[in-house]
Chains A and B, each alone.
Chain A
Amino acid sequence: MKKTALYQEHVKLGAKIVEFGGWLMPVFYTNVIDEHITTRTKAGLFDICHMGEIMIEGDDAFRLVQKLFTADISKLTKGGIVYCVMCNENGGAVDDLTVYCFDKNKYMLVVNAGTVDKDLEWVKKCSSGFDVAVTDKRKELAKLDLQGPNAEAILQKMTKANLNSLKRFGFIENEVNGVKAIISRTGYTAEDGFEIYFGVNKAVEIWNRLLTVGKESGIKPVGLGARDTLRLEACYSLYGHELDDSITPIEAGISFVVDNKDNFVGKEALIKQKMEGAKRLIMAFEMTDKAVPRNGYEIFKGNRKVGYVTSGTMSPTFKKGIGLGMVEKDNSKTGNEIEIKIRDKLYKAVIVKRPFYEYKGGNK
């Protein structure tokens, strides 16, 4: 089992540690609800060192990323970031990721922890004949996410970069606490905030400095438990749940990531599905009965199974059961009353518009 550079800090903070994607990670320090609310109202600091970073550099870098990803990378300029999906030929998701543009010859991919090896293999396979170098940076780079309405005020105390002028989905290279870093205004919580990348040997130092500097702004370390409830309220996909090798981004309800551009892997299947409409879709639902939906529970309409829950929780913000589920197209309309099978009993739920929680950061 792998540990991030911050493992001992988590232990010192009394975190409950669980296995996630082959890593021993903190699921919470105090409890999930407290950490969730802290991120929504103040600031949360997340150890995301387990995620992978892959650099693509060379004369053909642009041509390769344009072929690999669903988003039109020609729209991406230096210092810009796009969230998109890397598909296989059938349109299934190899992974979902963010792409950072340094220039047309250099891109950084930020990918899921559990899929880095698969991603690298796929990228290398697709890059045959391209003049590029593909490098795995996961062991060199630490990644911390600082999220919440107080994130900017806290990080500004540790950098000379003008954070106020950094727009959402933009990044800059500067110093944090005197350490060379990439700072992006992105996140997985639907709050304003930053993802920060720097040399892994500085992870403990910067982690502790952020917690100290942010104390008066109410910062707390936040585990993967609240990371999951925060992203679920925002209806952000989680790979392995709403996306996998057999689920397309269209089915996942994120067709906005698929641009109609020249050839890219999976284009034929995706455009066809976009035109004809997917036969199944990931939809958001909330419980009308008191109950907590969970991953894998079956979804019923009448006495017939029409889908399954991909993610579910008790929402700390709305204090009711919420979830995402894969349902047949015919049963995916907003307002459709469905039932979730929980321990052999059926509980009422209704399909609602995505997301439960709108991005609160504004378009800084």
Chain B
Amino acid sequence: MENPKNLKYSKEHEWIKVEGDIAVVGITDFAQKQLTDIVFVELPEEGKHVTQGKAMAVVESVKSVSDVFAPVSGEVVDINSELVDAPEILNKEPYGKGWIVKVKIENKSELNNLLSTEGYEKFLRETKH
């Protein structure tokens, strides 16, 4: 699966799509492949404040428990409740229906800490995943 060009990426394998002052956040195709069969998602509550680089959600496969880190700081304004009953969407459509939360961006300069598509792919190659 190709990593979309219009997104930004974190080194913790989250993607972010900026729509005005709202960031749509999910996990990358690489992340879902590493996790394999995702069977459980724990979402933050709407209204919760999340901090860039800090855990904000949890995804579990049959064998593993992994944190999802907030790629930007801000208030959670929407969560993808569909994932609660159908966590496998994260495996099937990590960049589409598999979005996890929408965050109201607090400080746009934080976006500079994130990677472009090319930057993320270079990072994946360099870390020899």
Measured CB to CB, the residues of A under 8 A from B are 16, 27-28, 31-34, 36, 225, 228-229, 290-292, 294, 313-314, 316, 321, 343
Stretch at the interface among B8-16, B58-66, B99-107: B58-66
Interfacial residues of chain B within 30-67, with CB under 8 A of chain A in the complex = 36-37, 39-40, 42, 58, 60-63, 65
Using A290-B84, A343-B58 as known contacts, say yes or no to A225 and B40 having CB atoms under 8 A apart: no
Inter-subunit contact A292/B40 (CB<8 Å): yes
Q: Which of B58, B61, B84 contacts A32 (CB 8 A)?
A: B61
Which of chain B's residues have a CB closer than 8 A to the CB of A313?
Answer: 62-63
Main secondary structure of the interface of A (DSSP, over half): mixed
Residues in A neighbouring B36, C-beta threshold 8 A: 16, 28, 31-32
A33 to B36 alpha-carbon distance, docked (Å): 9
Contact (Cβ within 8 A) B65 A31: no
Do the beta carbons of B40 and A33 come within 8 Å of each other?
Answer: no
A27 contacts B63, CB within 8 Å?
A: yes
Given contacts A32-B62, A229-B62, are A314 and B42 in contact (CB under 8 A)?
no
| Bound complex: CA A32 to CA B39 (Å) | 11
Tell me the nearest residue of chain B to A225, going by C-beta: B63
Residues of B within 8 A of A292 (CB): 39-40, 60, 65
> Can you report 17 residue pairs joining A to B where beta carbons are below 8 Å apart?
A16-B36, A27-B63, A28-B63, A31-B62, A33-B37, A33-B62, A36-B62, A225-B63, A229-B62, A290-B40, A292-B40, A292-B65, A294-B65, A313-B62, A314-B40, A316-B62, A343-B58
Contacts of B60 in A (CB 8 A): 292, 314
A343 surroundings in chain B (CB, below 8 A): 42, 58
Secondary structure of the B side of the interface? strand
Give Cα distance in the complex from A176 to B42, angstroms. 48
- Chain B interface: which size bin? 10 to 19
Query: Among A36, A228, A292, which residue has the most Cβ atoms of chain B within 10 A?
Result: A292
Bound complex: CA of A343 vs CA of B36, how far in Å?
Answer: 22
CB of B116, distance to nearest CB on chain A (Å): 29
Chain B residues near A321 (CB-CB < 8 A) = 40
What are the residues of chain B within 8 A of A316 when measuring CB–CB?
62
Contacts of A229 in B (CB 8 A): 62
Q: Which residue of chain B has its CB nearest to the CB of A320? A: B39
Min CB distance, B87 to chain A, in Å? 9
Please measure, in the bound complex, the distance between the C-alpha atom of A228 and the C-alpha atom of B62, giving whole angstroms: 10
Interfacial chain A residues near B42, Cβ < 8 Å: 343
Name the one of A34, A225, A314 contacting B39, with C-beta atoms under 8 angstroms: A314
| B37 contact set on A, CB distance < 8 A | 31-34
| Residues on the B chain within 8 Å of A34, using CB | 37
**Extra pairs beyond A32-B63, A314-B39 (5, CB < 8 Å):** A28-B63, A31-B36, A34-B37, A36-B62, A343-B42
Choose among B37, B42, B61 the residue with the greatest number of A CB atoms under 10 Å from its CB: B37
User: Are B62's CB and A314's CB within 8 A?
Assistant: yes
Within the complex, what minimum Cβ distance (angstroms) separates B117 from chain A?
Answer: 26
Complex formed: what's the CA distance from A34 to B40 in Å? 17
